[in-house]
A and B are shown apart, each in its own frame.
Chain A
Amino acid sequence: MVDEGVIAGGRPRLRAKARMRYDSVRRSFVLLLPERAVLLSDTAAEILRLCDGSRTAAGVVAVLQDKYHDASVPGDVREFLQQAAQKGWIEWTAPA
C-alpha cells in the first residue's frame, strides 16, 4: 500500500520499464509493460502523461483542475494514482 504521506509529498513517475503510446490500430492509448499491455482510457492516459517525476500528486490535480474545473478531479486522480502504483505502473519518488 502507498501511504498518504507519500502521496501528499512524493512525485509520481511512470516506472522505467513502462512505456505509454497511442495505438492507431485500436484507437486508444496503451501502457506497455514486460508482461502485459493495458488499454488506457483517455483520462487515464492524460493523468499518466503528467506523471513524469516533476510534479506532486497535488501538482497533477492542479493541472487537470485548471483544464476541467470539475470538483471530482482531486478524488478521482488520487484514487487512480493509488491504483496505478499498486499495479506497478508508476512509482513515487521521495518527497522533496
Chain B
Amino acid sequence: MDGTGVSPPASLLAEITHRCPLHCVYCSNPLELARREDELPTEAWLRVLDEAADLGVLQVHLSGGEPLVRPDLVTLVERATQRELYSNLITSGVGLTRVRAQALRDAGLGAVQLSVQGADTAVSRLIAGGEFWEQKMAAARHVREAGLPLGVNVVLHRHNLPQVTAVLELAAALGAERVELANAQYYGWALRNRTHLLPTREMLRKAEDDVAQYRRSGTTMEILWVVPDYYAEFPKPCMNGWGRLFLTVAPDGRALPCPIASVIPDLECPVVTAQSLRSIWYTSSAFNRYRGVEWMPDPCRSCPRRFEDFGGCRCQAFLLTGNAAVTDPVCIYSPHHSLVTDAAAAVDHADHGAPSYRNHPGTAQVSTPR
C-alpha cells in the first residue's frame, strides 16, 4: 500500500483506561496498570481516532479496563462515527445505564460486547471478585432496548466449562446475536492463577461436546469457540500476524502490536503523543520486529504453517521461555513444548487453592468472595 508491502491496519483496540470495577482472576492486562493520571486526555484520543481513520482502520474496539468509567466515551464514539469507523464497546456492563446505552446508540455505536463470567451468581462472584451479576443482566437489557446488537464474551476455565450449556442459554435469553467462548489464555493475571484456572482435557472435551450439541439445537446465535492453547497441537495465529491487521493503543498512549506486548521487556513501544500512528505502523521498530516471516527461528523458518500461524504468540513465547523470538511453546515442534504439556499434565494433581484477585488502582481492596 505504501510501497513497503505492509497492509494498512484494519482494527484499532483503544484501551481507554485500565480502571475497572471487576477483579477478574484471569485479567489479561499487564501486571503493572496505567494509572488514571497517566491516561490520555480526550483530545489525544480524538486525534488517535482521526489518524486511525486516515491510516485505513475500519473498526475501533473501545475497551479497557472498563471503558464506561471514562465520561468522554460518547464523545469518542461520536468521532469514530464521523470518521466512518465501526465502533464496538467491550464492557463488563457495570455503569451501562439505560440513558448511557441510548446516548451511545445516538452517537452511532455499532455494537456492544458484554462480558459474562458464568451462568450464575456464584461463578460470577468467584471470578469477578464481587457482586456484579444484576448490573450485567440490566446492562444487557438496556443494550437490547436501545436496539444495539449484543454479543456476549465468556472466558472459559475449569470453573465454568462444566456449565457451558447454561452459559449459552443465558446468552440466548439476554438476546445475544453472538457468543464468544474464549478459553482462558495464560498471560498477565491469568498466568499467576494458572493452576486455579487450567481445565483438564476431559473437561474440555465434554464442554466441546456440549457446545456442538447446543449448535445442533437450531440456535440462530453465532457461536465462536476459541481453542484452548495448552491443549492444542499448533499455536493460534496470534493477532493474525504481528503488525499485520491489529493495532492497540494502551491507556497511557503506548502503541502495541498486541494488547499484551508490553510484557516483552526490550520492546520499545512507540507513543501516540510523540509520533504519528502512520509512522508507528509502518516504520517503528516495535511493529516491524516480528512482522512477516524473516525474523523466524527454526522450526518455524522452514515450516509450511508459518503463513498460517505466524509462529504463534510472541508474548507467550516470552512468558514461558524468557525469549520472545522463539517458536510459541504451544507448537508440538517447539523445543520448549514440554513447558506447556507439563503444566497441563499437572492439572489433575494440582492444589487449586484460592485464586489471587486483581486490585485496580483507585479501587478498594476486595475481600475474598463468599
Chain A residues at the B interface, C-beta cutoff of 8 Å: 16-17, 19, 21, 23, 25-26, 30, 32-35, 37, 88
Contacts and interface: CB of A to CB of B under 8 A. Distances in A.
- Chain B CB count within 10 A is highest, among A21, A23, A25, for A25
Given A17-B177, A37-B58, A88-B222, A32 B86 contact: yes
B355 interface: no
A49 to B, nearest CB: 16
A23 to B, nearest CB: 7
A33 B84 CA distance: 12
5 contacts: A19-B110, A23-B56, A25-B54, A35-B151, A37-B10
A21 B151 contact: no
Interface string B139-152: 00000000101010
Contact of B59 (A16, A21, A26, A37): A37
A23 B58 CA distance: 8
A16 B110 CA distance: 9
Interface string B40-61: 0000000000000011101100
Interface string B168-182: 000000000110000
A34 B89 CA distance: 10
A48 to B, nearest CB: 16
- A-B complex: 8 closest residue pairs judged by Cβ atoms: A25-B56, A34-B111, A32-B86, A17-B149, A37-B58, A25-B8, A37-B10, A21-B84
B160 interface: no
A30 to B, nearest CB: 6
Given A21-B84, A26-B8, A35 B178 contact: yes
- Chain B CB count within 10 A is highest, among A23, A25, A34, A35, for A34
Given A17-B110, A17-B111, A25-B1, A34 B149 contact: yes
Interface residues of B, number: 21
B88 interface: yes
Nearest to B7: A26
B335 to A, nearest CB: 35
Given A19-B110, A34-B110, A37-B10, A25 B149 contact: no
Contacts of B110: 17, 19, 32, 34
A83 to B, nearest CB: 16
A35 B178 CA distance: 10
Interface in B85-115: 86, 88, 110-111, 113
Interface in B1-29: 1, 8, 10-11
Interface in B246-275: none
A37 B86 contact: yes
Contacts of A33: 86
Nearest to A30: B58
Contacts of A26: 1, 8, 56
A32 B58 contact: yes
Contacts of A19: 84, 86, 110
Nearest to B8: A25
Contacts of B151: 34-35
Given A32-B110, A35-B151, 16 more contacts: A16-B149, A17-B110, A17-B111, A17-B149, A19-B84, A23-B56, A25-B55, A25-B56, A32-B59, A34-B86, A34-B88, A34-B151, A35-B88, A37-B11, A37-B59, A88-B222
